[in-house]
Structures are given as C-alpha cells and as structure tokens.
Structure 1
Amino acid sequence: MAGGPVLTRRDGLKGLVGVAAVAGLAACGGSDDEGSGTGGGESGGGTGGDVIVNGSEPQNKLVPTNTNEVGGGRLLDSLWAGLVYYKADGTPENDVAESIESSDAQNYTIKIKSGQTFSDGTPVTAKSFVDAWNYGALGTNAQLSSYFFEPIEGFEAVQSEPPAAQTLSGLAVVDDTTFTVKLLQPESDFPLRLGYSAFYPLPESAFADMEAFGENPVGNGPYKLKAEGAWQHNVRIDFVPNETYDGPRKAQNDSLSFVFYETNDAAYSDLQGGNLDVLDAIPPSALATFEDDLGDRAVNIPAAVFQSYCIPERLPHFGGEEGKLRRQALSYAIDRDQICETVFSGTRTPAKDFTSPVIAGYSETVAGNEVLSFDAAKAKQLWAQADAISPWSGTFTLAYNTDLGHQEWVDAVTASIRQTLGIQAEGAPYPTFAQIRTEVTNRTITGAFRTGWQADYPGLYNFLGPLYATGAGSNDGDYSNPEFDALLQQAASTTDQDQANELLQQAQTILFTDLPVIPLWYSNASGGFGENAENVQFGWNSVPLYYQVTKS
C-alpha cells in the first residue's frame, strides 16, 4: 500500500499539526466529539478491564514491512507507534515524532522524541527507523510493502538484481534523535504517509532473525505480547499494555485479546452472549436486524473502505481488447443498488469511483463511471463483441474467503451475471482469508477473486497507487498502464491540492476504461459492542480505537 494525497504546502512543512491544518484533510469516519455515538473521546478513560475483540489470522509473521492486510495490520498498529498516528477523524498527529520539517517538500528533517523505548527496554532512535526502512526497501528481503519507499532516493539501486546498494542513499542518521530523508521529487503529502505500518521502527534484535522476530514481535506502541507464544495461530493473540509507551494512544484497558473467528456469525453470537466486547464486522445474516438487536450499541458509520473484485488479464479471455470488453460487460451486469439494499440492508453504498466518499477530493461524477450502473442490454452487447473476438466457454468463478462472511454477496453478484449474460457463474469458496491471499500473492489463483481496500492513511492517492500502479505491492492483477502511472506521478509531485485531485480524477477515467478491478460498493463501519464496553469509537478506516476501550 503506497502513496497518498498531496497536501497543500504553504511556506514549508513545519510539523504534522500544521500540515493537517493547511491541508484540511479530515476523513469523516467519526470525530473526536461525536465518535460513533458511544461517548468517550480520543483519550479514553474508564476502569480498564480485559477487552476481547474480533480479528483474523494474519497472512504473514508480524513484520511491519511485510504486512499489507487488515488482520495483521490492526495487530501491528496496537504493537507499534509510528512517527505519526491518525485520530478518529483521520487527521494526523505526532506520536514518536517531535517534528517533521521541509522547506521544499523533497528534503525532510525528522526529529523524534527523546527517551523512547521498545517494549524490551531498548532505545528507539533515529537509527531504528532508518534501519527498518532500509530493510523494507531492500529487494532481496522481498517485503510486500517495499514500494512505500520508492519515493526515497536510492530505491532503484536497492531493488536491482543483484542490489547495487544495500541501503537507501536518501536516508541519513544525523544523531540519536534526528534523521533526514531525501526524495526523488517533491511530494508534499509524504508526512501524511508516515503513520502507516511500513514506516514503523525496528529494534536491533529484529535483524538477527526476522522470521523468529515476526513470531514474537517487539514494538514500541501501546501494547506488547502478553508473553512469548501469546500468538495461538488461527485461535487468538493476547496483548497487555506496554508500560514503556508514553504516547497519545496509551492503553486504557488492562489487556486486549484478538479472537480469530472462523465466521462472523460466530463472532456476532459471542457479542450477543457477552463473550466479545467489540465487533467490527456484522455478518450478512444480521445486517437487517443488528441495529434493532444492539440499540445504541450498534455502529453504522461511513468509513474509508472500498470493495471490488479482480479479474487478472493473464486469465483466458481476459487479456487485450477481448478482456476489456468482458470486464465492462461484467460490470454493467451487476445490480449494485439491489444488492446493497437486499444483501447489506443499507450498510453499503454502490461505488461511483475507485476511492471512498469519506476522503477529501472524492467525486461521484468521474468521467466513465457509467460502467458502474446496471444496464443489461449494454452488458449483453459488450459480451457479444468480446465473443466475436473469441467465443466464451466454461464457467466464470469468483473466489472469496468464507471466514469473513462474503458468500451472500458473491452469490448475489454471480446470480446477477448469470441472469444478465446467460453464462455459468458461481462462487469459489476458500476456508480462510490467509489461504486465498496466498494464492493471490503467488499468482496461482485461476479465476476472479474478491478484493478490497481499507485505506492506510486518509488520502485519494492511497486508493490508487498501491493497487494499480505498475509493480505496486497490492496490484494483485498485475495491471499496467503508462498513462495512468504518469498521472499518478504528476499528482504526487504537485504541491497544489486542487490540481492533484484533478490529476487523480483523470487517472480514474483510465481505470474506468481498463477496469483492472470491478468496483462494487463502499463499506460502512458496521459493528457493535457489548453491554459492559465503554469508550468505543470506530475510526475513519473502520477500525475501532482499541486502546481507549474499557469495561465497566
């Protein structure tokens, strides 16, 4: 996941608080005053208690630069503190950083607060960040989030085979609390990106055996592992407050446990039965009733989450002009309005673009987005044009993981395709998210597959660059379009916010022609909390602010 929107630069960047104020970038996933309607603010408070929440087994070991999925990401964000963090409404605030400054949006000086330590007591220094970023960028380490470091000078050298350099030339340690970053070009939104997990620091002990470290990670955030071996794979992981952390996200509870449920139905039953304190994924079976069931403990607010499905061009019938026609036909064949109402009971909104309506710069009138409307006649016409190139045969399959409640909408989408196009279409279930992601990552999956994006940081670019730029780490369909890449680069380098947004909308018009994924809908943060849970607040990206949850 890489990139981000471009902040407006006025007289240099003098720390994150000033940058946020100038940019006006506040996503609408809740606010400090209103939260999710539960009371409680950013600082939390209460009587503490042992808090149990839902989660999912991470795809990989817990290494910040090799985790780019939600299950692992929420664990990293509890175990680590970055230079900045994002408040509930998406505004950035300094965490480990004392200041992040630049006069030209290309050369940055970053100072961290003195006296910071990891949970094992070792110091957090400027070198902790520089070493971690160098590890993540080095091509031979094959880190999923390596492209986050692409804007930094020297990235091409560390990515070459064999590497022409072992470290990024654009990073330099000045002293224990200061380091500098030189980018290849001005990118005024660079400070906004620094709250994402790829930019977290690492202790020196991590580099001795990164595989072992990822099994028992040591971070510098509000929590730490309860004990060595506290991660019971496919079952749960247990955290306790990290007493060495003294930042703005200090844990208000006595412990935090993530339980990895096989289904969201089981999680919802536990919530109703008092065995789960916070749930951020209501199962389809309960979407029509959960607000009545939970009353003022129900949460249903906008969030920066985009849902889609991907049909790689490498699949038979989906390359070249034929593939473009078929993807457009499949998009026109989906009745998004009906599915959002009947399957999701109004907890989803039909997509109008590739980003999210809670992000500054969003537009529902991007040229070409008529392909997201339901038009059976247009779908049949385009499919026939593709058949004229190469007749279709076989079954259209859409892969999904059954552990997080996707069967209902996949059944609805494939039914819409069958009825509209008159072809065989069906879901292809995988038992776990980790299993489907492994096949997607290894490029061994043989059909279309569900995709989604929960923003790393509150910016339009973050929904585009990481997923569709050539070679990007989350570009699961291996999409590549030089014109699209050029527009992304222009948007990243401009220091004018309005101009950057215009360029990103132009880039989306290309996506609407090529359809590297089929946009479906935007997700709300739909969840709930138990009768004894207090200070529950869901953030701009739909993730609860776990550190402030308490139990009466």
Structure 2
Amino acid sequence: MVLAWWGDPQNPLEPVNTNEVNGGAVLNMIFTGLVSYDPKTSKASNAMADSITSTDQQNWTVKLKPGWKFSDGTTVTASSYVDAWNYGALVTNKQVNASFFQYVQGYNDVAPATGAPTAQTMSGLKVVDDNTFTVALSQKFSTWPQTLGYSAYYPVPKSFFTDHAAYLNKPIGNGPYEIQTWTKSQKMQLRPFTGYSGPNKPKNGGIDLKVYTDTNAAYADLQSGNLDLDNGIPNSALKTIQTDLNGRYINEPAGIIQTISFPLYQPQWSTPGAAMVRQGISMAIDRATITKVVFTNTRTPATDWTSPVLGESGGYKSGLCGSVCNYDPAKAKQLIQQGGGIPGGQLTISYNADGPHKEWVDAVCNSINNATGDTKSCVGRPVGTFADFRNQITTKQMTGAFRTGWQMDYPLIQDFLQPVYTTGASSNDSHYTSAQFDSLVSQANANPDQAAAVGQFQTAEKLLINDLPAIPLWYQNGTAGWSSRITNVALDPFSVPVYSEITVK
C-alpha cells in the first residue's frame, strides 16, 4: 500500500458537491467520466463514452461503452448519468457545482434564480436506451465534450438515491479504486476495484490517504519513512527538499493560479472607490520577491487570470493584467488613498492554517504595509482547517480579503473564467457580477472557431482588470516528494498525483 498525504474535503463526496482539491482527488480515483484527461498533456479523450456527437454543436448524442460497473456490482447506464445530472442541477439539493449544467435546456426550471423550481428534471436530458442519452443545450457550445471529464459530470449508482446516507458514508463509483474504509478527519483506505473496465488499472495494492492538519508534521513523517507521498509540501522545506529526499522531488508547472479575493457582497467592498483600493493593493504586492524568497521559485508571478499551462493558443495571455499586476508601491499608495482607504483601516487576509499559507500571507501583508507606510494596514487571519475556511467563504461570512486558488477542471480558458467569475457560478467566491462579462463568456462558448472564442474570452477577462474581484498572485507549480519505498511518481497537469501509476518497490 501507498500511504499518502491528504486534507479533509469540505463537503461529502457527491460529484456535484465537490469543488476543492482534497475531495476532487478522491472522486477522480473512484470515478471515471465520459471523457478523461491525459496525465501528461491534459488532452481530452473518450473514456466511458464511446462517442459524443452533434451536427449543430447544440444537440448532442452520447453513447456509452457497454458493460461498465459500479463498485457495488450494478451496471453503469445512461440513466446513471441523466439521474446524476438532474440531481446535481436541482436547486433544492444545494449542490455547489449545479451551475455546470446551466447550458442544459430546462436548467432554469430546476434552478430558478428566485422562488421554487417548477420542474424536478431538465427537459434537455433524455434517456434513449441503456447506453445512449441525448443532451439539448440552450445555445451552441462547441467545446462542451471537452468539459465532461470534470467530476460534476460523473455518474452515480441507484443506491445514491435509495440509501443516500449509506452512500455518503462510503461513496460508490466506477473508477480504478473503491473506498474500503473512511474514518473522517483521519484516514481513507482505497483499494483497486477489480471490476474496473478502464485502461488505467492500478499498479499498486491501494492508496491510504492520511489527513494532516500540519504540513510540517507531514513532511517530518515523509523524511522519517512514515509517509510515502507528500504533495502538500510546506514552504519551509522547499530550500532543502532536494537534498532532504535525495532527489525524490517533483517541481513542474501545473494548471493552477493563486489569488486573493474580496467579499463584494459586503458594502465596504462594493463602493465606487473600492475597486480602486483593490487595484492599489494589487500593485503593493511584490510578487517577484515573494515567489523567489518564500516559494523558492516554485511559483511564477501572475499577469493574467489563467495559467501558462494552457499556452497562448489555449487562452493564456502574458501581461494581460497590465500595470495592475506590476509592483509599484508609490502608485499603490496613491490608488488606495484615492479610493477612500482600506475599509476599516486594516486589510485582513484569511487563510486555512492547515495549509502552507502563513509565510506568504505574512510576506504579502509586509509588502502592502511597506507600500502604505503603515505597519498595521494588513494582517493575516488564520482559520483552523480547510473545511472550516471554505465553509466561511461559501456561507458569505468573510468581511475582508481571503486566499483563493483555482486548479483547472479541464484545459480550457473557459474553465478559468466561467466557474469563477460569472454571476452565480459555483466557485464565484467573491460574488462578482457583470452582465457584460457573462454575455461575453456565453458568446465565446457558442463560437465554433476556437481561436476566435479564445479572443472573446480574453475580452471578458480584461473586464477583471478594472473590477478586480480577485487579485492574481502567482501561477503555482505542482510539487511532491516521496519515500524510497515507492517509484513511478508523477503529477498530472492539474498537480494531482497519478496514483494508479505508483509502484511499491
């Protein structure tokens, strides 16, 4: 068995109710979706889908490969997908990723902006037979098939509905692993699912995920041989990790951006001058020094809201953010003053204390304090655990700034913008809203010309420069260290270990 680092997921492991990395890592081990992403290139290809076709890029037919099973022995059918998607979209089920179904016809009936739903299922989903279903979208969406490897689109077994409590206690999927035991806040044991029909069958006897609330404790366990895989490396270890682990260390670009978001639902952050204050705060952050000193060059200063992993053809645009992302302490101080000053006189930056964040938050605050000339203008605000921290964000309890990050769900610029910044989107933590931004994203989705669509997405992205619901900080590399017991360790472009490929010596 491989003993690996883990953090408690925020929510129960329902596919449409998971939008953070700890829960996502498990879902991707116990489920296989219609498509999957190559662990080296992130390119999408059919997995459980035999074909996903359309003559007009709006009405799609999905055919499944027959014979796939869930780990409870039941068969995966077209209804496993349609029922899962309808459940996920229905507003009364309160699933955080419900908005991923917003382009399916009938979504507004099951998830109205106000009031009770007028339907229980989306009219755009139809089961044709056990291995075929159709999806009618409300508009053309040329890259829709490429999005379907994300966990929100996973199927669920019938027991998800007939005994939901049992499912939540021990989730059942159709992927390469199945959950054997799960003691919440302590450990999860995953073992190879012998009935798995996909190609990436595990090359190990299983993965044991151990929950750590202190990244330094996890790293100490790794060094002493009490942990095999650590992909929550503390910043304090980055300077010595190569020698500490005799080279058993990965540091490579990943589809991740780290940001600082603001609660625009709070009156003090929605005034006409507040956007100018946010711009000033951004210009007060010395990204180059922080990424070098704190992160030992495992981060790169961000100049847009996407990731270099996309490449220019995929939507990454170096320098798109312009001067707002450049360190200019004099201009920063001027803008903060012109905007009416930091609300309340002090900026707090909240973060989860069980992750490696204190050092960089302190460094960011020191940079802001130096620019303003006030040693108390910014302070860090630790929150005990990741789950508690995320719950404070999703229940709109934040009054100051807070750390946010985005790990791509699929390799499209659309994924860096739509789920994070469109009105009411699943990961719109700042609750930013712009009708113009929403419209441009919808137009880009409908554009069959991918190059032209990328340009439309970037036009939308430029609106974020002035509104600045979130400050781009840096692009994050994927990092991991491992023990001498295991080999074949790799990270995918999402920075998640390719668990199925790990072998025990």
1:60/1:67 contact within 8 Å kept: yes
SS of residue matched to 2:108 = helix
2:28/2:175 contact within 8 Å kept: yes
Question: Is 1:217 matched with 2:171?
Answer: yes
Question: Is 1:422 matched with 2:373?
Answer: yes
How many angstroms apart in 2 are the aligned matches of 1:331 and 1:211? Answer: 45
Question: Is 1:493 matched with 2:452?
Answer: no
Judged with a 3 Å threshold, the aligned counterparts in structure 2 of structure 1 residues 147 and 214 are, in CA distance, closer, same or farther, namely same
Question: Is 1:455 matched with 2:408?
Answer: yes
Moved more, 108-117 or 355-364: 355-364
How many angstroms apart in 2 are the aligned matches of 1:65 and 1:363? Answer: 27
SS of residue matched to 2:33 = coil
C-alpha displacement of 1:460: 0.8
C-alpha displacement of 1:369: 2.3
Aligned pair partner of 1:506 in 456, 459, 463: 459
C-alpha displacement of 1:290: 1.1
Aligned pair partner of 1:133 in 59, 81, 85: 85
Judged with a 3 Å threshold, the aligned counterparts in structure 2 of structure 1 residues 86 and 365 are, in CA distance, closer, same or farther, namely closer
2:190/2:206 contact within 8 Å kept: yes
How many angstroms apart in 1 are the aligned matches of 2:322 and 2:163? Answer: 48
C-alpha displacement of 1:362: 3.6
C-alpha displacement of 1:93: 2.3
**Match for 2:475: what amino acid?**
Y
Judged with a 3 Å threshold, the aligned counterparts in structure 2 of structure 1 residues 392 and 480 are, in CA distance, closer, same or farther, namely closer
C-alpha displacement of 1:435: 0.5
SS of residue matched to 2:25 = helix
How many angstroms apart in 1 are the aligned matches of 2:70 and 2:343? Answer: 57
**1:54-86: CA deviations, max 9, x gaps?**
111011111101111111010111111111111
How many angstroms apart in 1 are the aligned matches of 2:320 and 2:397? Answer: 34
Residue 242 of structure 2 corresponds to 291
**1:459-482: CA deviations, max 9, x gaps?**
111011001000101101110011
Question: Is 1:515 matched with 2:464?
Answer: no
Aligned pair partner of 2:480 in 524, 527, 548: 527
Aligned pair partner of 2:290 in 339, 342, 347: 339
**1:7-30: CA deviations, max 9, x gaps?**
xxxxxxxxxxxxxxxxxxxxxxxx
**Match for 1:355: what amino acid?**
T
Residue 189 of structure 1 corresponds to 143
Question: Is 1:369 matched with 2:335?
Answer: no
C-alpha displacement of 1:183: 0.8
How many angstroms apart in 2 are the aligned matches of 1:267 and 1:502? Answer: 43
Aligned pair partner of 2:264 in 297, 313, 317: 313
Residue 199 of structure 1 corresponds to 153
**Match for 2:439: what amino acid?**
A
1:491/1:504 contact within 8 Å kept: yes
**Match for 2:476: what amino acid?**
S
Residue 94 of structure 2 corresponds to 142
1:305/1:522 contact within 8 Å kept: yes
Residue 162 of structure 2 corresponds to 208
TM-score of the pair, normalised by structure 2:
0.96
Question: Is 1:173 matched with 2:127?
Answer: yes
C-alpha displacement of 1:370: 1.6
Report % sequence identity. Answer: 46
1:366/1:508 contact within 8 Å kept: no
**Match for 2:70: what amino acid?**
F
1:487/1:504 contact within 8 Å kept: yes
How many angstroms apart in 1 are the aligned matches of 2:266 and 2:435? Answer: 21
Residue 13 of structure 1 corresponds to none
Aligned pair partner of 2:26 in 50, 75, 87: 75
C-alpha displacement of 1:187: 0.7
**Match for 1:110: what amino acid?**
V
The number of residue pairs the alignment matches comes to: 498
**Match for 1:147: what amino acid?**
S
How many angstroms apart in 2 are the aligned matches of 1:105 and 1:491? Answer: 13
2:3/2:228 contact within 8 Å kept: yes
1:333/1:376 contact within 8 Å kept: yes
How many angstroms apart in 2 are the aligned matches of 1:76 and 1:426? Answer: 35
2:269/2:343 contact within 8 Å kept: no
SS of residue matched to 1:519 = strand
The correspondence of residues 250-269 of structure 1 with structure 2, limited to 5 A, is 250-269=201-220
SS of residue matched to 2:269 = coil
**1:501-530: CA deviations, max 9, x gaps?**
111111111001111101100100111221
SS of residue matched to 1:523 = strand
For the aligned residue pairs, the C-alpha RMSD in angstroms reads 1.3
The correspondence of residues 472-483 of structure 1 with structure 2, limited to 5 A, is 472-483=425-436
Question: Is 1:465 matched with 2:411?
Answer: no
How many angstroms apart in 2 are the aligned matches of 1:231 and 1:528? Answer: 24
Aligned pair partner of 1:116 in 51, 68, 72: 68
TM-score of the pair, normalised by structure 1:
0.88
**Match for 2:471: what amino acid?**
I
How many angstroms apart in 1 are the aligned matches of 2:490 and 2:344? Answer: 49
Residue 404 of structure 1 corresponds to 355
SS of residue matched to 1:104 = coil
1:491/1:503 contact within 8 Å kept: yes
Residue 337 of structure 2 corresponds to 384
SS of residue matched to 1:358 = helix
How many angstroms apart in 1 are the aligned matches of 2:203 and 2:266? Answer: 50
Moved more, 110-119 or 205-214: 205-214
How many angstroms apart in 1 are the aligned matches of 2:14 and 2:343? Answer: 43
C-alpha displacement of 1:296: 3.3
2:306/2:316 contact within 8 Å kept: no
2:248/2:483 contact within 8 Å kept: yes
1:366/1:509 contact within 8 Å kept: no
SS of residue matched to 2:426 = coil
2:228/2:485 contact within 8 Å kept: yes
SS of residue matched to 2:410 = coil
SS of residue matched to 2:196 = coil
How many angstroms apart in 2 are the aligned matches of 1:487 and 1:295? Answer: 49
1:313/1:320 contact within 8 Å kept: no
After superposing on structure 2, the runs of 4+ consecutive aligned residues of structure 1 that deviate more than 6 Å are none
Residue 303 of structure 2 corresponds to 352
How many angstroms apart in 1 are the aligned matches of 2:315 and 2:486? Answer: 34
Aligned pair partner of 2:187 in 236, 242, 250: 236
Judged with a 3 Å threshold, the aligned counterparts in structure 2 of structure 1 residues 214 and 172 are, in CA distance, closer, same or farther, namely same
Residue 545 of structure 1 corresponds to 498
Moved more, 266-275 or 137-146: 266-275
